[in-house]
Structure 1
Amino acid sequence: MPKRSNSASRRSLTQKGTYRYVSSVLEDNSNEPQSTYGVQFVWKPSYYHMQGGGALWQDGGPPRSRHRGLRGLAEVALEEDLDEDEVTDLLEPEIQPADTDKQWRNLFVTCNGNTVRIYEAKHKESPSLLQFYEDSDTTEQFYCVAWTFNVTGNHEYWVCAAGRKGIIRVIDVQNFRLRSSLTGHGDAVNDLKVHPRDPALVISASKDESLRLWNLRTGATCAIFCGLRGHRGEVVHVDFSQDGSRFASCGIDNSVRIWDFYDNEDVVKGIKESHKVADLGVEDPHVYIDETGTRRKTKVPICQFPFFVTRKVHRHYVDCVMWVGELLLSKSVHNRMILWEPEQDRESLASPATEYTLLEEYVLDVCNVWFIRFAMDRHRRLVACGNDKGMVSVFDLRLTPSKPLCVINPKDKYRYSAQFVRQCAFSEDGSILLAVDDTSSVVQYERLD
């Protein structure tokens, strides 16, 4: 497919609902800057988040959504979000997303080299640096970051960061301290995601061909996903479904896999036991005392059988996958993102579903390098993806044909530059879009309303 002309890009920048370049921040001023691989905004907590993690699993786990298509569970979940008045009292003023005027503060986190930075994005201004953390090991290279918060106590916001060393650092950004370090992976961690209904649960995707589910309250592994039917290469990306009952993973084995919490009752049991350990305040996260006073040792279940597996959607490395209702949007290195629907039935636990239906393709200009990850807004309607030349394409999944709303560039809006955009992020209301690249730049765009 031919590339879109510069004049088309210029016209798209003037349309309502598209984005324009505002400002940028350089994180590394050295002659050989390190890449900024990860960026994420903090979003408002939902009703489920505020209930605490353990309550969700008492009845066997999160209820499964029956919503399908582009109008998935996001609309329902948003109705249950807390309003700004309730959010205001959660955090201390130093790092509080809701300020005294009841306006949500657009805080975001980035990772560059062995550093993690907390910023605030403001309209028509450059991002303001609020906090800076540096790993003691200068050889560390963080690849991913994720926001969550303490489900008990004062609901402090935490940031999780991981990368080359395979160690997940959990930072308490309100109290300015490292809370814990999670170890277990045998190689680098490429991605982190927080459970959409239990903020104590974080899943990590690793180069060691496994995924691990962690409970941040104890620092222990709840479950491991690998083995017989698991990935046969580096796991690059992971994403929870919006109801939290399953997650999708992808990697350099060209595959996309769906894992279901309901497939293995030991997984849900392991999550419940880990919360019980936290509630009892047991020092050893792998040992707890039951209701009868008996000392019991927790077991880490290993899930080897995904619900769904395919290597046919993409013919090369798959470096990003995200849920859109019950559909999946995934990307490889062949200049396009694909929206598709996985089969919902399978023969048995050992025989995963493999059939799928292709629905739409979204063409990207010059995007043939792996580890370029797209982002979606909170409603899962807008998608932003960078490319090899410093440009960002924004799509609206509700519109057909599948042409970008805009193609934007930070330096010269109508000509190619020379850096890889590694990841993008939307703010809470979608009015601000960020992109980070290999020159350590954090670029801010704003929506034209």
Structure 2
Amino acid sequence: MSAPASPLKREREEAAAASSEEDYFTPDSSASPGPSKRKSPPPANAIREGSSVSTITDPATPKTSESEVQPNGVPEMTSASKHEQLEVIFKNLRLRRIVKENHGSEVNQLAFCLNPQHNQTPFGIDHVKVFEKRGAVKRDPSDNSNVLGTTGGPQANIYDNEHCGDHLDIMSHFLLDPVGEEGAEELPEMLTCCWMHQPQDAILATAGTDKVIHVLSLARSKELVRLSGHTHTITDIQAHPSNDNYLLSASKDGSIRMWNILTGKCLLIFEMKASVVCFNPNTEGRTFLTGGYNGEVREWNVPDLEVEPEEPIVVLANESRVLQSGLHSARIDCIRFAKGKVLSKSVNGKIEYWDATTLQHIRTFTIKNTASNQCRFDVSLDELFFCAGTSNGSVYIYNIETGKTVTELKHRRSTKAIRTCIFSRDCRTVICAGEDSFIWRYDYVTDETLNEWASWKPEP
């Protein structure tokens, strides 16, 4: 049986209409339900071949060991700038791992567990891996940046991107069943996710067509709480940059909500139908931006929450400020900040770089060789580069300061639309995923190793 069309595909094929679905969960269901009792499919990093389960690897990619990479993983360019060193790394990224998730739907978002507020581990060129005798990577206890979360179909999956053989090993697998409505058979589609910090734990929040935010604990391997209140599909969620308990969500029901994940309470309701949200890191979460279906970008002030209200505070649309109304001509599907400026992307492949304070437009990036495509792009932690996927299975990396294209990551087996792509902490890995439920990992390979591959010949 083929997988049902995802909500994103249905949205592109049909005009938007009011939802006829009932809430799967009641608004006051803040109690912590136990894990799903439904029999779980095979692990998400496996596919079935006959009676066995196996991980897919790229047969065309030779295997190399960590010893082939220079100690700091950086080309010998002592006088080169970080821009130049990173560009060399990006141009030497090669496909090293392919993972097939078993839900058969789109992988809608990827997220590394990166938390600058609680983790001061170096990043980019300055990040140097140190290995134990047995080959495992030594890490600071607060550094969870090897942990990767994915969301797609009715699942949220968590992988270890480094410790176990330096490849995507599954750590936790959550199957999110429809609960609370008798006879409900259609499984929800998870469209968005984000990581949140809690003491001795890593929390993955995910949401989608069931109108509920699922708060999942990695340490306990269970669902902690379900945040109910939205009445239509949730399209985007984002953790508060300075308060570990707060979460922001955008829904097609015409509201944006702020939640406390510990109490399960909705604190604020902003009356606006937005496709995406993004906290402004320059204001430590006191303001955030929303991207609209009409291409409009608005700025919102977050009311003081020193004393949390008993009932949600409602913020009207006229209390927000329109920052951009003509810069984008299509729905905005991703907003990020870089060097204090805004990068906003619309589904027509235009990424605009502009100043949120002066509203000055700096430059336009046009994603090459792509039709209309929804894709969450990512900005490197040093905020020097960003990567964005295309409708034909490739990923482009751009230099934000120069506006130039650095490289295209492409493989003959990757032909479907990319919906999400991310950088690792050290920028030596780019991971992307999309329509075909595959996760593609591109890794940095040294010039020395590339030369060995080029001169390799099979034994007679």
Q: TM-score under structure 2 normalisation?
A: 0.67
* Paired residue secondary structure (2:360): strand
**Is 2:334 aligned against 1:320?**
yes
Matches within 5 A, 1:316-395: 316-344=330-358, 356-395=359-398
CA contact (8 A) 2:341 2:355 kept: yes
Structure 2 unaligned runs (5+)? 1-83, 128-136, 179-185, 447-460
Name the CA distance, whole Å, in 2 between partners of 1:194 and 1:35.
23
Name the CA distance, whole Å, in 2 between partners of 1:184 and 1:102.
33
Name the CA distance, whole Å, in 2 between partners of 1:315 and 1:391.
24
Partner of 2:295: 254
Name the CA distance, whole Å, in 2 between partners of 1:17 and 1:390.
21
CA contact (8 A) 2:200 2:219 kept: no
CA contact (8 A) 1:143 1:190 kept: yes
Partner of 1:6: none
**Is 2:436 aligned against 1:435?**
no
Distance change >3 Å, CA 111–CA 103, structure 1 → 2: closer
Higher RCO (CA < 8 A, seq sep 6+): 1
Partner of 2:171: 130
CA contact (8 A) 1:98 1:105 kept: no
CA contact (8 A) 1:254 1:311 kept: yes
Give, in angstroms, the shift of residue 318 of structure 1. 1.4
Name the CA distance, whole Å, in 2 between partners of 1:100 and 1:272.
32
Partner of 1:408: 409
Name the CA distance, whole Å, in 2 between partners of 1:434 and 1:387.
14
* Paired residue secondary structure (1:17): helix
Name the CA distance, whole Å, in 2 between partners of 1:298 and 1:256.
28
User: Which AA in structure 2 matches 1:144?
Assistant: T
Partner of 1:139: 187
**Is 2:120 aligned against 1:117?**
no
Give, in angstroms, the shift of residue 222 of structure 1. 1.4
* Aligned with residue 214 of structure 1, among 248, 251, 259: 259
Distance change >3 Å, CA 172–CA 447, structure 1 → 2: same
Name the CA distance, whole Å, in 1 between partners of 2:107 and 2:190.
8
**Is 2:102 aligned against 1:28?**
yes
Matches within 5 A, 1:13-412: 16-18=88-90, 19-28=93-102, 33-47=104-118, 99=139, 106-122=146-162, 125-137=166-178, 138-150=186-198, 154-226=199-271, 230-231=272-273, 235-242=274-281, 243-261=284-302, 267-268=303-304, 271-274=305-308, 297-304=310-317, 305-344=319-358, 356-398=359-401, 400=402, 402-411=403-412
Total equivalences in the alignment: 339
More divergent stretch after superposition (385-394 vs 375-384): 375-384
Which whole-Å deviations, capped at 9, do the CAs of 1:190-213 have from their partners, x for residues lacking one? 111111111211101111122111
Give, in angstroms, the shift of residue 129 of structure 1. 0.9
Which whole-Å deviations, capped at 9, do the CAs of 1:354-409 have from their partners, x for residues lacking one? xx3221111211333242111112232221100100000011212x2x22111011
Name the CA distance, whole Å, in 2 between partners of 1:141 and 1:423.
16
Give, in angstroms, the shift of residue 28 of structure 1. 2.4
What's the % identity of the aligned pairs? 20
More divergent stretch after superposition (379-388 vs 367-376): 367-376
Structure 1 unaligned runs (5+)? 1-11, 50-76, 85-96, 262-266, 275-285, 287-296, 345-355
Give, in angstroms, the shift of residue 428 of structure 1. 2.2
Which whole-Å deviations, capped at 9, do the CAs of 1:240-296 have from their partners, x for residues lacking one? 1113221111121221111122xxxxx21xx2223xxxxxxxxxxx6xxxxxxxxxx
Name the CA distance, whole Å, in 1 between partners of 2:307 and 2:371.
44
Give, in angstroms, the shift of residue 105 of structure 1. 5.5
* Paired residue secondary structure (2:313): coil
CA contact (8 A) 1:252 1:318 kept: yes
Give, in angstroms, the shift of residue 149 of structure 1. 2.2
Distance change >3 Å, CA 100–CA 397, structure 1 → 2: closer
Structural RMSD (CA): 3.0
User: Which AA in structure 1 matches 2:278?
Assistant: D
* Paired residue secondary structure (2:306): helix
Distance change >3 Å, CA 339–CA 125, structure 1 → 2: same
Distance change >3 Å, CA 433–CA 362, structure 1 → 2: same
